[in-house]
Amino acid sequence: MTTVFWISLAVCIYVYFGYPALLWLLSRARPRSVREGEVTPAATLIIPACNEEKNIAAKIENTLALDYPPVEILVVSNGSTDATDDIVRRYADRVTLIALGKAGKIEALNEGARRASGEILVFTDADFLLDPHALRTLARKFHDPEVGGVCGARRSGRRDGDSTGDGEGLYTSWDQWQKVRESRIGSVFAADGLLYAIRRELYMPVTDPAQADDIAISARIPILGYRLLFEPKATAWENATVEASSELRRKVRVTNHSVRALLNLRSRLFTSGFYSVELLSHKLLRHFIPCFLILLLISSAAAYPAAFIGQLGFYSLAVAGALLRNRKTGRAKILAVPYFFTFVNAAALAGILSLLRGKRTAAWSTRSLDDSVGATVQPAQHFPVTKRRMAFVAGLLKRESRLDQLKNAGRPLLFSRMPRMLRDDGRTTNALPDEFRYIDKNNEVAPVITVTPQQWKTALAVSRAVSTRRKSS
């Protein structure tokens, strides 16, 4: 039992502390540079969608407002039974709808890639909204011929639900810290389906629909000798309702699909140099951690009673966190962290068991489909657009230092989702904003304020008049 205890402990320490420490050392000792440049290769943006009627219109409007030369937009509706297809058809002059039967997300991605004409393929989920500069930021790295793919970063706006969402936020921050350092060393272990771009010639159709599409597609890039980078400035925003029951089902499927995708790499999983270390350490071993945690608990009961009591105390805090997850007390880190750690590993164990039982599913795993109430992105709450409010916004756009001051002061403000070039050079003739997001005193993104082009022009006129009056006085 002593040997089992120390082996189990060593694996757990390596996954959670040893591997991140290794990344930190290597990223400082031998970082690889990237030749970035102001390039805008022709892009095809592929949006797979299944019953996304509450998200798809906002997604399309968000995509059309990106600070990037016109892109080809393909919405691949995969067996949607709601109004998704009808909503997409309203944009027929700018968006192509590809309606498929119920064949799974991977088939939707394969069909989108087959129909695409752009030099780079940009995959993004329907329940995430992109920052205006996200695509341009991704494209800069394709100036380097060694780069085959670039991944964006997840950002959370308003996160409703219980304390499970708080733990998810901490986990995401820790995971992205590792991705940044993996990218500096060579390649990140895999992309996240919310936003990533690859060179079209590197796309290889995926044949097994019961695996994680983002891993199956993006892992081929480092294996082929190209770099897969992580770009934290290319952000995709999600307003999520995270509840334990639906999140548990999603994470069980994610584990099943992710491990299957890794195993489908076959010998490449172990023979791809340091990239294999990333795949094994960052993903595969992490999914198998609950097995080692169970062995650690059992072996410590026989060999090290003090360690056994310590683990029982930790899991007692986790149980308390689970019971209090809907209360303010349950959001305290002393309860939320043990709870989410146990929650994630329980889901991973269930996913591994489902894989061993031979369970296969091509179902989607987005939160919007797991949410029985509705979509991930909350319906927009429209505020009255007055001249005074719009003048305030227009002034902020021209004075970013003032915007930063307001953020630091914690005052509510309006944050523009306009393309970056409009804030930099002040031009307003070639592009117009279509929405604003309200940021509260905690810097959390909240509802959308819709603004028409005419209202924007009025706001600019009012802003100029106010500025002129102030200068004359």
The pair of structure tokens assigned to 380 is 């927009």
Given a cut of 60, whether residue 185 has pLDDT beyond it is: yes
- 450-463 mean pLDDT: 52
Task: Give the chain's mean pLDDT.
Answer: 80
How far is the C-alpha of 11 from the C-alpha of 101, rounded, in Å?
Answer: 44
Give 32-47 pLDDT, tens digit per residue: 999 999 999 999 999 9
What Cα–Cα distance (Å) separates residue 188 from each residue in 198, 240, 262, 366? 13, 25, 14, 22
| Residue written as token pair 């040997």 | 3
What residues make up the domain containing 191?
Answer: 34-238
How far is the C-alpha of 195 from the C-alpha of 72, rounded, in Å?
Answer: 16
* Amino acid 161: pLDDT: 66
- Out of 188, 210, 238, a domain closes at 238
- 207-231 mean pLDDT: 93
39/161: higher pLDDT: 39
Confidence of residue 359 (pLDDT cuts 50, 70, 90): confident
- 334-355 mean pLDDT: 94
> Residue 105: inside a domain, yes or no?
yes
Nearest-10 Cα torsion for 6, 291, 272, 233: -100
* Amino acid 331: pLDDT: 85
> Residue 201: inside a domain, yes or no?
yes
**Within 13 Å of residue 299, how many CA atoms lie on the same side as its CB?**
15
Given a cut of 60, whether residue 239 has pLDDT beyond it is: yes
Q: How many structural domains does the chain have?
A: 2
The pair of structure tokens assigned to 86 is 């009808």
> Residue 148: inside a domain, yes or no?
yes
Given a cut of 90, whether residue 197 has pLDDT beyond it is: yes
Residues 6+ apart with CB under 8 A from 461: none
Residues 6+ apart with CB under 8 A from 121: 43, 44, 46, 112, 113, 197, 198, 199, 200, 203
* Amino acid 454: pLDDT: 54
> Residue 258: inside a domain, yes or no?
no
Given a cut of 70, whether residue 450 has pLDDT beyond it is: no
The pair of structure tokens assigned to 100 is 């498929």
- 127-131 mean pLDDT: 89
> Residue 278: inside a domain, yes or no?
no
Give 396-434 pLDDT, tens digit per residue: 444 444 444 434 433 333 333 333 223 333 333 333 333
> Of 19-33, 158-172, 317-331, 438-452, which gets the smallest average pLDDT?
438-452
3-state secondary structure of 158: strand
| Residue written as token pair 């945690």 | 293
Name the pTM for this structure.
Answer: 0.75
> Residue 27: inside a domain, yes or no?
no
> Residue 199: inside a domain, yes or no?
yes
- 127-156 mean pLDDT: 93
Q: Give the residue among 41, 128, 116, 123 at the shortest CA–CA distance from 72.
A: 116
The pair of structure tokens assigned to 134 is 């996200």
- 183-206 mean pLDDT: 94
**Within 13 Å of residue 71, how many CA atoms lie on the same side as its CB?**
26
Greatest mean pLDDT among 74-83, 110-119, 365-374 lies in: 110-119
* Amino acid 122: pLDDT: 97
* Amino acid 460: pLDDT: 54
Q: What is the side-by-side order of every strand in the sheet holding 120-124? A: 96-100, 72-78, 43-49, 120-124, 195-199, 147-161, 227-242, 129-130
How far is the C-alpha of 241 from the C-alpha of 158, rounded, in Å?
Answer: 8
Confidence of residue 74 (pLDDT cuts 50, 70, 90): very high
434/318: higher pLDDT: 318
What Cα–Cα distance (Å) separates residue 336 from each residue in 157, 226, 244, 250? 19, 39, 12, 19
> Residue 467: inside a domain, yes or no?
yes
* Amino acid 427: pLDDT: 35
- Out of 191, 223, 238, a domain closes at 238
Q: What is the side-by-side order of every strand in the sheet holding 435-439? A: 413-416, 435-439, 445-450
The pair of structure tokens assigned to 381 is 């709450």
- Out of 178, 209, 238, a domain closes at 238
Indicate which CATH number applies to the domain containing 183. 3.90.550.10
